[in-house]
Amino acid sequence: MLSRRRLSLLAALAAPPLVRGGVAAAQTPWPSKPIRWIVNFPPAGAADILSRTLADYFGSRLGQPIVVENKPGAGGLLGADIVAKARGDAHVVMMSSAASHGIGPVLYKDVPYDPLADFTHIHLVGTFPSVLAVNGGSSVTTVKQLVELARKRPGEITYGSGGNGTMNHLVGQLLARSADMPFTHIPYRGSAPAMNDLMGGQIVALMESLPTAIGYFNSGRMRPLGVSEAERSPSLPDVPTLREAGFTDVVATNWFGFSAAADIPPEIAKRWETEIATALQSAQVTEAFAKIGVRPGTLGAAAYTDLIRSELVRWKEVIRAANIRAD
């Protein structure tokens, strides 16, 4: 028979280690509670639609619900700051964007977070162009005609955007600089009033994001003249790029990505990267994205982080050159 001492030794060897260095070694399963998904823009916009599409896809796949919260304000900075302050919390994520992580940090003076150090960037979610548009009833049908009109009537040809320092504003400035034309920028507080004024004839042109404007293009109330990406949009195959229109320097892509708080466990970050990549290849997500003119992203964690880093450099130069100031 085995001695009591030997039985105790064998039991100790067979049992899994519960404590290592005074800390419980058994990890808490993740996710262990609902996931808080911050959308730093208002409902019904591109960030909101993309976020809810992915949240619907995940459903119960992760074993916990995803709670989507809209926290708009300060060009996306307010919502981003919530995630930045959740350092180490693997249950807080967000839809990062060109606004909150590529432009805002180099436009505003007092940004409360570091767009790189205060986040774990996981995956590029989607890309889409800005679109130069006019009223559906306008006699202007090409970018060249609009540029010629602006040169004939210096200062009189206005274009609107959803606000100072937005991607659409900056793309408009790139075009004005490339074409050497005196465009007059009219900033609005959001896309809706800008589009209303274009359709109402208060402004001549508009630079707007494709997901926001695609319904108006389809109805004929607004006419797209050119898109900002290097290639034509599958949603607007007959609309040339601004590069095709003769402005080779005007190439810009609006982007959204998936990011979490900084310092989350690397195995959770890796799982998110795999989960998001799988979601972006699913029919459910690709079909929903296609309806609003969004291309699913293909960049994983390292490449997406590099994209953010390069965009910060690019837009800082554009903002400085055009002397753009925040509202």
- CATH code, domain with 142: 3.40.190.10
In single-letter form, the type of residue at position 321 comes to: A
On whether residue 18 sits in a domain, the answer given is: no
Residues 103, 167: contact at Cβ < 8 Å?
yes
The pLDDT, as a whole number, for residue 79 is: 96
Any idea how long the chain is? 327
- Tally the C-alpha atoms within 13 A of residue 154's C-alpha that lie toward its C-beta: 2
The pLDDT, as a whole number, for residue 189 is: 85
Which regions of the chain are under pLDDT 50?
A: 1-26
Q: What is the span of the domain harbouring residue 148?
A: 130-227
The pLDDT, as a whole number, for residue 24 is: 36
Name residue 295's beta-bridge partners: 127
* CA separation for the pair 319, 103 (Å, rounded): 9
Instruction: Give tens-digit pLDDT for 245-287.
Output: 999 999 999 999 999 999 999 999 999 999 999 999 999 999 9
The pLDDT, as a whole number, for residue 327 is: 63
pTM of the model: 0.86
Question: In sequence order, which residues have a C-beta less than 8 Å from that of residue 77 and are 6 or more positions away?
Answer: 40, 100, 104, 108, 111, 112, 113
Q: Is the alpha carbon torsion for 173, 178, 184, 188 positive or negative? A: negative
Q: Closest Cα partner for 54 from 35, 80, 74?
A: 35
* CA separation for the pair 207, 131 (Å, rounded): 5
Angle CA(319)–CA(323)–CA(326) in degrees, nearest 5?
Answer: 70
On whether residue 216 sits in a domain, the answer given is: yes
On whether residue 122 sits in a domain, the answer given is: yes
* Domain identity same for 111 and 259: yes
On whether residue 240 sits in a domain, the answer given is: no
* CA separation for the pair 324, 296 (Å, rounded): 31
Number of structural domains in the chain: 2
On whether residue 298 sits in a domain, the answer given is: yes
Strand (E) positions, the chain? 19-20, 23-24, 35-39, 66-70, 92-97, 119-128, 130-135, 158-161, 184-187, 205-209, 222-227, 254-261, 295-296
Q: How many CB atoms lie within 10 A of CB 234?
A: 9
Residues 61, 143: contact at Cβ < 8 Å?
no
CATH number of the domain that 109 lies in?
3.40.190.150
Provide DSSP, 108-143.
-S--SS-TTTTEEEEEEEEEE-EEEEEETT-S--SH
* Domain identity same for 263 and 123: yes
Give the C-alpha distances (Å, rounded to integers) separating 71 from 31, 41, 210, 297.
22, 6, 22, 23
The pLDDT, as a whole number, for residue 194 is: 94
Based on its alpha-carbon atoms, the radius of gyration of the chain, rounded to whole angstroms, reads 24
On whether residue 291 sits in a domain, the answer given is: yes
